[in-house]
């Protein structure tokens, strides 16, 4: 769907490794604005439109195991709370 390796939880996409580098993370829509204020985080844009409920974390934001785990955990926790498909 996003052109990269995706990881699912309960049939819901949680995180996706971007072919451009970095990570796309599924997040609660209401948290998107606050997360966009963090370093190395930008809106996820598809077909010229911002995709709410998803953010893009630049390669520098997932360079360490700790950084990567933080974002993977965030995406997985959110996907886990969605109805299973």
What confidence tens digit (pLDDT) does each residue in 14-72 have?
Answer: 999 988 889 999 999 999 999 999 999 999 988 899 988 999 999 999 999 999 999 99
Q: Name the band, by pLDDT with cuts 50, 70 and 90, for residue 76.
A: very high
Q: Name the band, by pLDDT with cuts 50, 70 and 90, for residue 83.
A: very high
Q: In 3D, which of 50, 14, 15, 20 has the Cα closest to residue 33?
A: 50
């Amino acid at each position: 769907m996003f052109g990269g390796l995706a990881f699912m939880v309960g049939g819901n996409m949680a995180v996706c490794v971007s072919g451009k580098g970095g990570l796309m993370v599924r997040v609660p829509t209401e948290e998107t604005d606050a997360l966009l204020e963090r370093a190395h985080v930008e809106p996820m844009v598809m077909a010229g439109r911002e995709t709410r409920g998803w953010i893009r974390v630049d390669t520098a934001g997932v360079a360490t195991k700790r950084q990567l785990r933080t974002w993977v955990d965030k995406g997985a926790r959110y996907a886990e709370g969605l109805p299973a498909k």
